[in-house]
Chain A
Amino acid sequence: MLFQWKVSKRKNTINEQSGQAQTVPSGEIDNRLDANIETIRRTTGNSTDVVIRRFMLGKEKNIQAAIIFLSGIVDESMIYQFLLESVVQIDFPSSCLPNEALLYVEQKIAAAGKMRRMKQWNHLFLSLMSGETLLFVDGVSEALSIDTKGGEHRAIEEPSTQLAIRGPREGFTESLGTNIAMIRRRIKNPNLWVEAITIGEVTQTNVSLMYIKGIANDEIVEEVRTRLRRIHIDAILESGYIEQLIEDQTFTTFPTIYHTERPDIVAANLLEGRIAILVEGTPFVLVAPAVFIQFFQAVEDYYARFDIATALRLLRVLIFFLSLIAPALYIALTTFHQEMIPTQLVIAIAAQRESVPFPAFVEALMMEVTFEILREAGVRLPRAIGQAVSIVGALVIGQAAVEAGIVSSTMVIIVSITAIASFATPSFAIAISARLIRFLLMFLATLFGLYGIMIGVIFMTLHLCSLRSFGVPYMSPLAPLIPTNIGDTLFRFPIWALKERPRLINETNMIRQGKQQRPMPPNESKKEGDDH
């Protein structure tokens, strides 16, 4: 069985209007322009950014019309320079009825892209709020919605998380269209399908589902779709909302959905058969299903040569465990298993602890918490002040605490190693879960020493093995072991050896490359011939 998640037994009687702030006028629009404008004014509460521009249409300029848009989220130059101008300049027949005028406008304007006629108020408001321009004509009970989305957006910049020395420099922005385009540019294939869903009763956030038809597993796509459709909430402000609403398991510290700011990572994941969920208004794109080892795969692993990538990846997994157990190990060894430390070292540590008034656990806890405080303070503060915090931190922890005899310098070393190790994990999401577990392990180590740590690790492993992400076992391809996919886990085999896509995600279409992709330089004799 691929899908084994539990379906919530609670039967939700979902109210269509749940979460709505105030009802949008239902029904169709009036045929009087004034009445329509009044409705819009009333519904939007005379908001100042609603621009209503009236003008006359037709050969004799006898038909009243108005365009309505929200300034700021539309491309205003487009409206004024092209739309308005071309509307006015249309060569209307002499005796043009208002009805025909709208038809004319729809047919003759070439300056704008998408155009739709609508009657329903709720559709009209949705279009208006998403940055389209509405064209009303007096006497017609239909309006034209013209796509004029635009306005100011953050330009494409280098992503601020997941930096890479080698690799593309662009990162996602807050604009959904731009983000989709960035992925499209990387995969020029009609099978890259995009589905749009609007989620959030109040915010009406556009969410796009992206996958490669034929590579992605249809069952998983369907599952993502149903889970997204099940969401009924007032607002989606960031992809984190969606992540928490569709993940398989809430009570876990481990992330079961991957998120990234880099279009190249998304493209690579789509090609492995995964599904991307893009959310309007955030540069973080969700990728599902995610597996544990994915959080250790830095993007550069694939751009660097395989030996270096393998070494770095092994290092990353190692430091993940280091950041997990280093303080716990310190506690266990110094309070339970002094016999396991080499004599010279134990005497050195004992000498340092001679003047420390706290038990090892308190000492470690104190230092770890201090570090977390410093980190948290540094993250939220503006950059300039952040530096000041780190200086104070370095002085307080590194120097003063040791000199005052409150902590031993070994402890400072341990905490520093842990801290650096947790920063060296490529994914913040997994590093933060390691932090939480670290405290748990420290506690267990205080109670039972190494035995406690090992019990903790066994518990953690059992938990990890029981997790699934959209039906895919979280620890795959390590457990269950899938030998053909092991090349991209703790190791990164040469690209030509990574022949198949992850097996549990895909079921068909697994081969990625031709048969003999291993580079074959011309042999020696031929080379000599070339030299001449």
Chain B
Amino acid sequence: MERVQLSARQLFMLAILFEHGSAIVIPLGVDAKQDVWLAILCGMALGSLLFLVYYRLFTYYPTVPFTSYSQQIVGTFFGKGIALVYVLYFLYIAARVLRDFGELLLTFAYPETPLFVLNAVMMLTIMYAAYKGIEVLARAGELFFAFLYLIAVLGFVLVIVVGVIDIHRLQPVLEEGWKRVFKVVFTQTLYVPFGEMIVFTMLFPYVNERKKVKIAGWLAIWLSGINLALTMAMNIAVIGADAVSRSTFPLLNTIQEIRIANFLERLDVLFMIALVIGGFFKISVFFYAGVIGAADLFQIKEHQRLIYPLGLAVLLLSIAIANNFAEHIKEGLNIVTIYMHIPLQVVIPVLLLIIAAIRNRHM
């Protein structure tokens, strides 16, 4: 572990950037059509319960990351197994998000550029960030948080001013009842982005104000949940539920609707900023967690040593992961959710918590 400290505020901002990450640009949970904002809010509510599980685990073992206390809870052998699985999971998700990011960028602005090059450039930046450590990443997060919020508010105000919002497009609410909403919640929005907060169990030990971890995490989940719901609602109110569900980037279509005085138009750059910054922080947090997890697991003192090999692995994995975008998305929705998100975000943490609670009864 690095000997650095994060404040609760930095944790909060990092979590916000992480949650928004790619979620704000991709068509998140659009199977719920015009009720997607409800699906996101429900995902958020359940997500904060999941976060409570992660937080309770942290309160039992406040000085070590997840990969260490898993060994304390179920013994060295199984614990190491679990830790290894999680390290691989974090790195795999880093590769997945990197692939997402590259694909989005490619479709949107760089049709002729090889995916590998776009991903390599991004990965290089992320490796630099991981090399500099979590403290630097958190500080950069504070700066970009402010910047991104400024951009978001600007975009939001512009969309409202232009008058392309038609609230009626959000109707009828619950056209097909709660069933459709919950289906989306339990297959998508709970895990991405809210369940992904599991990765922060690797970062909690760095936080110097332990009491504030819970509230910082919750605030981050709530704020990003509300923001995401608002953004998706805005997308629907501007371009319609049908177009949103067919679009690769609903937010881009919404931003393209902004036209003021024949000059303030074509503001795709706002979208691009959100995409790159969000992607950067999301992948960075996953990658960093993977790296320090591996360093912790294999008792390597300087995590910097692992950055080069693991970075390269993530980069290559992001290319090798799927043949085309459709396959990639399909994998993400079906295989990853069932075989990775559900066991690793929900089942194992809950089991660990139960065992930890039994073991620490006397406390």
Contacts and interface: CB of A to CB of B under 8 A. Distances in A.
Instruction: Determine if chain A interacts with chain B.
Output: yes
A273 interface: no
Nearest to B256: A339
A481 B142 CA distance: 7
B316 interface: no
A479 B266 contact: no
A303 interface: no
Interface residues of A, number: 27
Nearest to B105: A451
Nearest to B261: A342
B9 interface: yes
Contact of A462 (B9, B121, B140, B277): B140
A459 B268 CA distance: 22
Interface stretch (B49-57, B128-136, B168-176, B184-192): B128-136
A311 interface: no
B268 A462 contact: no
Interface string A225-250: 00000000000000000000000000
A490 to B, nearest CB: 9
B277 A344 contact: no
B129 A462 contact: yes
Interface in A471-513: 473, 475, 478-481
Contacts of A480: 7, 9-10, 138-139, 142
A339 B141 CA distance: 30
Interface string A339-355: 11110100000000000
Contacts of A466: 132-133, 136
B118 A451 contact: yes
A462 B7 CA distance: 18
A481 B105 CA distance: 31
Given A454-B276, A458-B277, A480-B7, A340 B269 contact: yes
B272 A479 contact: no
Contacts of A390: none
B333 interface: no
B154 interface: no
A455 B276 contact: yes
B122 interface: yes
A151 to B, nearest CB: 50
A60 to B, nearest CB: 77
A451 B109 CA distance: 9
Nearest to B144: A461
A454 B139 contact: no
B273 A454 contact: yes
A342 B263 CA distance: 6
Contact of A451 (B3, B129, B146, B272): B272
B109 A450 contact: yes
Nearest to B9: A481
Nearest to B13: A481
B143 interface: yes
B136 A465 contact: yes
Contacts of A289: none
Contacts of A14: none
A449 B105 CA distance: 12
B109 A336 contact: yes
A454 B142 contact: no
Given A337-B109, A344-B262, A451-B118, A461 B143 contact: yes
A336 B112 CA distance: 11
B24 to A, nearest CB: 16
Given A342-B262, A451-B109, A451-B272, A459 B139 contact: no
7 contacts: A339-B266, A451-B118, A451-B272, A454-B273, A458-B125, A465-B140, A481-B9
Interface of A: 1, 336-337, 339-342, 344, 448-452, 454-455, 458-459, 461-462, 465-466, 473, 475, 478-481
Interface of B: 3, 7, 9-10, 105, 109-110, 113, 118, 121-122, 125, 128-129, 132-133, 136-144, 146, 262-263, 265-269, 272-273, 276-277, 280
Given A451-B121, A462-B136, A475-B143, 10 more contacts: A336-B110, A451-B276, A458-B277, A458-B280, A462-B128, A465-B140, A466-B133, A479-B140, A479-B142, A480-B7
